[in-house]
Amino acid sequence: MKKKPLIGLLSELLLPIPAYELASDLNIDLVVFTPYSINWSLQKIHGLFWDGEHWIKTTTRFPDAVYNRRYTSSETVINRLEQYIGKNKVFNRITKLDKWKTHRILSASLINVGIPNTQILTKNSFNKMISHPNGVILKPRIGSFGEGVFLLQQKDKHYHLFEGSNQPIVIAENIDKLIATMAAKPDYLIQGFIPPAPIGERIFDIRLIMQKGADGNWNASASLSRLSLKNVFITNLCRRIQSVQESLALLSDSINPEEFLLNLETVSLKVCSTLEKRLGLLGDISVDFIIDNGYKPWLIEVNGKPEKANLIELLEPELMEKVYSRPLEYAKMLAEK
C-alpha cells in the first residue's frame, strides 16, 4: 500500500487547526509544527499530528511538502527546510507582503484595472502628492490589518486628518511635524485616495481568494464583498460580509455582475503569476479591489495570508470546505512530484 504523503502546516503556535481536519478525506497525513519544534540534527519534527479523529502530540519525520501558515517576511526557516525536503516543496514563502515592493511589481504589468499612485512617504513625495484632488492615504508599508491608516485632505487652507471614520481627528494649518515623524523611517506609504462608490451611506470592497489546487494551477476559489460601517473610508471597519453579486447589484443595475467578476478574476490571475515570479512559490493569496464612482475597478491590496473565516457569513459550507482543502490538495501535488 502506497504511503500517504506527510503535509506540514508551518505555524506560529503549536495548536490544532480544526479547519484542516478535512485532510482525512484527501488521503494525506497532516502535522502542525513551528520553527521552534524542528530538530534539524535529527531531521525530526515535534508537532501535532492529525490521526483522523484527534490531534496527537508526537515526533515525525520531515514533511514531504509544507504550507506556510506563519505571517512572516523571513524565508530563513523555509530555505533551510528545502535543503532537506527539496526545492519548491514549501509554498507561500512570504506572507507578510511589502506593499511598496508589491506595488512596483504589479504597476508595471497590470491592465484593465487601476492602481493608485503610491510612493514611500517622504517630505518630497508628500509635497508632490498632497494636491491629489481627493486627498491621500497614509498607510503602513507592511500589512497592519487596517491599523494606522489615515486619510489626509486639504480643505480651506487647513489639513483634515481622518483615521477610520469620516470625522477628522486633527484639523490644522501645518502638519510638517506629523509628516516628518511618519517619514523618519521608510515604514509608511503615501497613496492617492480613490473614493469608493457607495451603497447608500456605506462603501464596499471585493476580495478574491486565489488558490492552487491538485492541478497546480491558479483559480479563484471564492469571492466576497465587505460592506463597511456607515461614514468610514476603509472597509476593514466592516458591518457585514455579502456576495460580490449582491454588492454589484445594489450599486447599479447597469453592471453585469458576472462579467464584472470575471474581469476581476482575470486580473487576479495575472497578479498571482506576476508576484510568484518575483516572490517565489505561492499557492494561497487574496486580491482586494474597490470600485470608483465611474464603476472602474482599482486594485488596492494583495494579502499573503488571507482571512477565510469570514466566508462563513455567506452561509455556503461547500465554499468553506473548498478554500481550506485546495491548499492541502496543492501541497499533496508538490509532495508527490
Shared domain check, 249 and 107: yes
Q: Is 22 helix (H, G, I), strand (E, B) or coil?
A: helix
Shared domain check, 166 and 28: no
| Residue pair 161/152 in contact by the 8 Å Cβ criterion | yes
Judge whether 232 lies within some domain: yes
How high is the mean pLDDT of the chain? 93
List, in order, residues 6 or more apart from 209 with CB less than 8 Å away.
220, 221, 222, 223, 224, 284, 285, 286, 306, 308, 311, 323
- pTM for this prediction: 0.94
What pLDDT, in 10s, does the model give residues 253-300?
A: 999 999 999 999 999 999 999 999 999 999 999 999 999 999 999 999
Judge whether 1 lies within some domain: no
CATH of the domain at 264: 3.30.470.20
Shared domain check, 188 and 53: no
Total domains present in the chain: 3
pLDDT at residue 100 greater than cutoff 70: yes
pLDDT at residue 1 greater than cutoff 60: no
User: What integer pLDDT is reported at residue 113 of this predicted model?
Assistant: 85
Nearest to 88 by CA among 99, 75, 74: 75
The rounded radius of gyration (Å) of the Cα atoms in the chain is: 22
Shared domain check, 131 and 21: no
- Measured CA to CA, the distance from residue 231 to residue 293 in angstroms comes to 16
Q: Which of 192, 222, 253 is the last residue of a domain?
A: 192
Judge whether 15 lies within some domain: yes
User: What integer pLDDT is reported at residue 227 of this predicted model?
Assistant: 94
- Measured CA to CA, the distance from residue 12 to residue 278 in angstroms comes to 25
Judge whether 303 lies within some domain: yes
Q: Please give the helix or strand (H or E) that residue 333 lies within, else none.
A: helix 317-336
Q: Which of 192, 220, 247 is the last residue of a domain?
A: 192
Domain boundaries, position 80? 6-91
What pLDDT, in 10s, does the model give residues 23-80?
A: 999 999 999 999 999 999 999 999 999 999 999 999 999 999 999 999 999 999 999 9
Shared domain check, 29 and 72: yes
Shared domain check, 266 and 156: no
Shared domain check, 245 and 152: no
What pLDDT, in 10s, does the model give residues 133-143?
A: 899 999 999 87
Shared domain check, 161 and 17: no
Residue 72 identity = T
Backbone angles phi, psi at 83, to 5 degrees: -65, -25
